[in-house]
Amino acid sequence: MLKVAILALLFISNVKSDGDDGSSGHDLFNKYDINHDNHMGITEFRHLFMGFDAWPEDGRVSEHEFIAGWTAYHSELTEDRSTALFFLRTDLDHDGSVTASDVDKLFHMFDENGDNSVSDREFCDAFTAMYYHIKKC
Ligand SMILES: [Ca+2]
Ligand SMILES: [Ca+2]
Ligand SMILES: [Ca+2]
């Protein structure tokens, strides 16, 4: 009985800290919706997933670049040690790098109604389904 109570308390405090944190997939969407039209176009979407192509800048985001970038800029969104899993789920063709081809496929997976634009709702639905270890929208 005591165990159940402790678990319940842990659950409540987890929910509470998520809510207090203020960072979410929704914030991520707003940050990368650069022209603030409440939709993410392919260019904005590529910027989100390929923005860390820097060391070297060669059109391929290596696991090292991806993890270093997300840890530096978006660590508030990911749980401990989940960034490697995030990379694996983004590298759709499993060739060891995130490229425009992965990101374009991802964009079409996110764009549920096929209008070549990812709305806030489409982003939240797909993002939390695909990257379930990341804090909810
Ligand atoms: Ca936009
Ligand atoms: Ca790839
Ligand atoms: Ca859409």
Average pLDDT over residues 28-43: 95
Q: Which position has the higher pLDDT, 6 or 95?
A: 95
Give the C-alpha separation, 43 to 90, whole Å: 16
DSSP-assigned letter for residue 81: T
pTM: 0.78
Among all bound ligands, the one having the nearest atom to the CA of 47 is: 1
Q: Which residues contact 130 (CB under 8 A, 6 or more apart)?
A: 89, 109
Among all bound ligands, the one having the nearest atom to the CA of 105 is: 2
Residue 20 binned pLDDT confidence (cut-offs 50, 70, 90): very low
Residue 9 resides in a domain: no
* Percent of residues in the chain assigned helix, strand, coil, to nearest 5: 60, 5, 35
88 Cα to the center of ligand 1, angstroms:
26
Helix axes 100-110, 120-130, angle to 10 degrees: 110
Give the C-alpha separation, 21 to 37, whole Å: 25
Residue with tokens 């997933």: 49
33 Cα to the center of ligand 1, angstroms:
4
Q: Which position has the higher pLDDT, 2 or 27?
A: 27
Among all bound ligands, the one having the nearest atom to the CA of 29 is: 1
Structure tokens of 54? 């820097």
87 Cα to the center of ligand 2, angstroms:
10
Average pLDDT over residues 100-107: 97
88 Cα to the center of ligand 2, angstroms:
9
Residue 38 resides in a domain: yes
Residue 29 resides in a domain: yes
Q: Looking at the 3D structure of the chain, how many domains does it have?
A: 1
Residue 44 resides in a domain: yes
